[in-house]
Structure 1
Amino acid sequence: MRGFDCEVIVLETAVPTTTRDGQTIHSFIVADRTASIMMNIWGDDGKHIRNGDILRLEGAEAKLFKGFLQLTTTRYGKIRRVGEDTMVFQEVPNISKMQWVTEEESRAMGPKEDGQC
């Protein structure tokens, strides 16, 4: 899913990682009223984000990475801090901890041996 807007609260921050080509990735666990998810922000946009920040993402994207769903912004997306510490959120379930498969992968697996889908 690509190009949607959402508002989340930052629950946890992780130590930034650097890719082989020198790009920085800032990772966070964020939540809204429905669930929590891992959010990755590329570049310097993530270095000022702290626990408790309420962020408005415009042009957000949810995508699978190694079978796990993650939230990020598109190239032209925007991140804006709109508040701090006062937002209703749901920490469980963390949908980034669930293993996801695409429809193509599901079809390739075929029916289970006991005849159930």
Structure 2
Amino acid sequence: MYLNKPSNRLVLISEFKPSMRGFDCEFIVLNCAIPTKLRDGGQVCKFKVSDKSGSIVLTLWGDSGEFIKPGDILRLEGAEAKLFKNTIFVTTSRYGKIKRIGENNMIFNELPFFSEVLWLTEEEHQMRQNENQPL
């Protein structure tokens, strides 16, 4: 799903769908994982982030995650929701921006944690429906 024109509307975490691109969102950082070093010398940082609708994993490549800490309120412009191993996460697009807009003063809900929800492909969904039909 592409959002073609920029909009001032912020997308809530509960509205994220796999392959959604080019949207803006705001959330508070709940916790940070230790950065993972990659073979090519780069790194990946993962964070649990939340807004009033729930929480999700934020994944950032490169050094953009080094300065983020718990309690930071971030705004992603040009965000993408992606699916990896049936787990949804949010990240910035190639030309996306991440900004720190505040600290420690945002209403949020940790649950539901959308990165724990099992996302099925259309084929997997059809197979499960067919298994549940009576003979």
Q: TM-score, normalised to structure 1's length?
A: 0.92
1:65 counterpart (84, 94, 99): 84
Aligned: 1:55 with 2:65? no
Aligned: 1:88 with 2:79? no
Per the alignment, residue 33 of structure 1 pairs with 52
Distance 2:132 2:89 in 1: 32
Superposition deviation, residue 63 in structure 1 = 0.8
SS at match of 1:111: helix
Count of equivalent residues: 115
Over 6 Å off, 4+ runs: none
Aligned: 1:14 with 2:71? no
Q: Could you tell me which amino acid in structure 1 is paired with residue 129 of structure 2?
A: P
Superposition deviation, residue 58 in structure 1 = 0.2
| Unaligned 5+ runs, structure 2 | 1-19
| Unaligned 5+ runs, structure 1 | none
Q: Could you tell me which amino acid in structure 2 is paired with residue 95 of structure 1?
A: F
* Identity fraction in percent: 55
Superposition deviation, residue 112 in structure 1 = 3.7
Superposed CA RMSD? 1.4
Distance 1:5 1:42 in 2: 18
SS at match of 1:106: helix
Distance 2:94 2:31 in 1: 24
Q: TM-score, normalised to structure 2's length?
A: 0.80
Q: Which structure features the higher share of strand residues?
A: 1
SS at match of 2:22: strand
Greater relative contact order (CA < 8 Å, ≥ 6 in sequence):
1
Distance 2:21 2:53 in 1: 18
